[in-house]
Structures are given as structure tokens and as C-alpha cells.
Structure 1
Amino acid sequence: MPTPALTRYSMQNLSVDQYLRAHIRTVPDWPAPGVQFRDITPLLQDAKVFRVLIDAFIHRYMDPSIRPDVVAGLDARGFILGAVVAYELNVGFVPIRKKGKLPFTTVEETYELEYGSATVELHTDAVKPGDRVLLIDDLIATGGTMMAGMKLLEKLGAQVIEGAAIVDLPELGGSDKLRASGLALFTLLDFSGH
């Protein structure tokens, strides 16, 4: 059931941007003091809102000039979006997982976090050389996960045509870093602060 505070928002008087923004919950001081966590789960809980969200991506990627052959989703919320977008576009979906979660031969990429590092993996047969891949996640903060995902796909010879996310947190610099690396980005919303 939708969150009662959110049911008052109908698309009737709102743009897609405003409608989606109205359904993202900000949780102050989580997971640490000073962080404004942008919770996308309300976007997924209501069928109509979820459809509007997915359609915003589908309408973009139906354009033949940026239509992917494959959608790759970043662990874990990128799986939710990526699998549905791939299904709607009638293309394959590949998961980019945290280290140790894939059962077959993998390639891996380690990236730096604010405190420490993390590693993501991809099956070696997930994409073919020349595949045009849409790389998708829920949010871009520092850009580390998306950059690592792009490097994995490129190791296998795929071309990442665009990185996509629901939310960009531009003050954290991730989207600038990704664009500087040559990755085209598409995000539906940006939020100031972090």
C-alpha cells in the first residue's frame, strides 16, 4: 500500500520529474549523521509510480541511436531497474555483482570507497565484444560503482553507450567524474546535499 503522505500526489498537475521527486523519501542522518539518504523504495511500492519511473527510461532507450543490445545492472538496486528496463526493451540483462556472488568464471574490478575499497564482478560470458550496453543503477554519488561497472564491461569488449540512474547527487562529484571519463549519463533527478 502506498505511503499515505504520498497518495496526494497525482500526475494530473505534475511533470514526470516532479511526480517522481514527490515519491522519493529523504531519510535524515542515515546511515550516518549529516547524510540525507535518498530512499527510492516508495517509487517501487506503488504500481502507477513504478510504471512512470520505468517508462521514463524506456522512452529514452527506444531511440535507435541509443538503444542497447544489453542492460547491465549494478548490485543491488540496479538489478530492480535494469531487469525491468531490459524486459521492456526486449534485450538481455546482466548483473554486475559484489565479489563472491557469481558462480561462473568472472572478471573483477576494485574501486575506492570513502573508507576502504570494494570489488564488483561480471561473468566472462555476460557480454560479447561490440555489445552496446546500458549501465544502470539507482543513484550516482561518488561514481565509483558505475565506473567499476563500465571498466568491467569494457574489459570484455562491450561498449557502454550510457550510464543511467534515477538520482544524481552532483555535489559528491560522481557524475562529473564519470562524464570526464567519457561516459554519457542520463539521470532523472538530482538532489542537492548528500
Structure 2
Amino acid sequence: MSEINAEDKLTYVKSKIGEYPDFPKQGILFRDIFGALTDAKACVYLRDLLVEHVKHNHPDVEIIVGLDSRGFLFNLLLATELGISCAPIRKKGKLPGEVASVEYQLEYGSDTFEIQLNAIKPGQKVVIVDDLLATGGSLVAATQLVRKVGGVILECLVVMELSDLKGRAKIDSKVHSLFEY
């Protein structure tokens, strides 16, 4: 049996993304990564796609940083497959020890991301991973935070991107999404 190609894997994963109209509020079509994660084949394909992308494009990556909270589903997976370390970026007050913080804007207010000061060594090459790029606020904050602690960003990697929201334009680092809506 021949191995399935990357395009077919991507099509399969995308077919498993859940769609919930009017969630969390009227007029929003919520794209839910958990629809893909509850399907064993989609999980394997998603892992393959993420790992192969990083191996091919960033063989010198030293650490994978995952964003609170769905980015955590991917940073340990990628780090384990690549044999490198990983670190979390969390919401304010969730990490012990000394942290660096960055406040960022949400649709109706603001929030704060934090990273432990010793999570990334100065000059360490970083790929930031999350499930979704929408308006770009959380990824902008993550890039600022990684730089603040001395990391060198190779790329921001997301599973899906809502391209109509133009979040990519706000990010001053390379961005790659597996697929767009």
C-alpha cells in the first residue's frame, strides 16, 4: 500500500475540523480543532504534517513554544518528535518563578501572556505553535514575549488561519498555516 501524500493528509484533517455557527456569539462561525483531535487518523496526519513542515523548513530549531492553551497540544508533540525542548506561554498568573509579561488586545479588552525567564536561552532558535491565527493579537504578543527573553523566532506555525481577519499582517515574523478559511 502506498503512503498517503501531504495534500491528502491535509484534506483529511481539514474535513474533521468542526464548525459551530453562532458560537460563542451570533454571527461567528467557530472552527473547532477538537473535531480533528478526536479522530485517530486525523491526529496522526496532523502530527505528520506539523513535524515534516518543521523538519524541512527549520532543521535548526532548538525549542518549540506553545500558546495557552491549545498550542500546548502541539508543542510537546513537536518537541518530542524532533528531539528538542518545549516551553509554554501562559495567561497571567499561571507560571511559577520569575516571568516576563506582555499585555495584548482582545476584541473586547486585554489579556496578558507570560513566559518563565529561564524557558528560552538567549539566542535560542524558536518556532511558536498554536492551533489558530485569527486577529493576530495572541501571536503578536507571543513574538514580543519570545524576543523579550532573548529567543530568535524562526516562524509562527498554526494549524488553521482565518484569513479574512487579516491577523497575519500584524505579525512581524514568518507565519505558516497548514490551511486557511
TM-score tier (shorter): over 0.9
**Moved runs in structure 1, 4+ residues, more than 4 A?**
none
Tell me, yes or no, if the aligned pair for 2:104 and 2:137 is still in contact at 8 Å: yes
TM-score by length of 2: 0.93
Cα deviation, residue 21, structure 1: 1.2
SS at match of 2:44: helix
1:112 — aligned with what? 105
**Which one of 86, 92, 113 corresponds to residue 85 of structure 2?**
92
The answer to whether residue 17 in structure 2 is matched with residue 24 in structure 1 is yes
Unaligned runs of 5+ in 2: none
The answer to whether residue 90 in structure 2 is matched with residue 82 in structure 1 is no
| AA matched with 2:176 | F
The answer to whether residue 128 in structure 2 is matched with residue 138 in structure 1 is no
List aligned pairs for 1:131-170, cutoff 5 A: 131-170=124-163
Tell me, yes or no, if the aligned pair for 2:102 and 2:114 is still in contact at 8 Å: yes
Tell me, yes or no, if the aligned pair for 1:77 and 1:138 is still in contact at 8 Å: yes
Cα deviation, 1:26-85, whole Å, max 9, x if unaligned, reads: 100000000000001021112221010011011111137454100000000000011111
Cα deviation, 1:141-183, whole Å, max 9, x if unaligned, reads: 01110111111110111101000111100111101221xx2x1
**Which one of 27, 40, 51 corresponds to residue 47 of structure 1?**
40
Tell me, yes or no, if the aligned pair for 1:43 and 1:49 is still in contact at 8 Å: yes
The alignment covers a number of residue pairs equal to: 177
Q: Share of identical aligned residues, percent?
A: 36
TM-score by length of 1: 0.87
Tell me, yes or no, if the aligned pair for 2:70 and 2:130 is still in contact at 8 Å: yes
Q: Structure 1's 116 and 138: CA in aligned 2 closer, same or farther, altered over 3 A? A: same
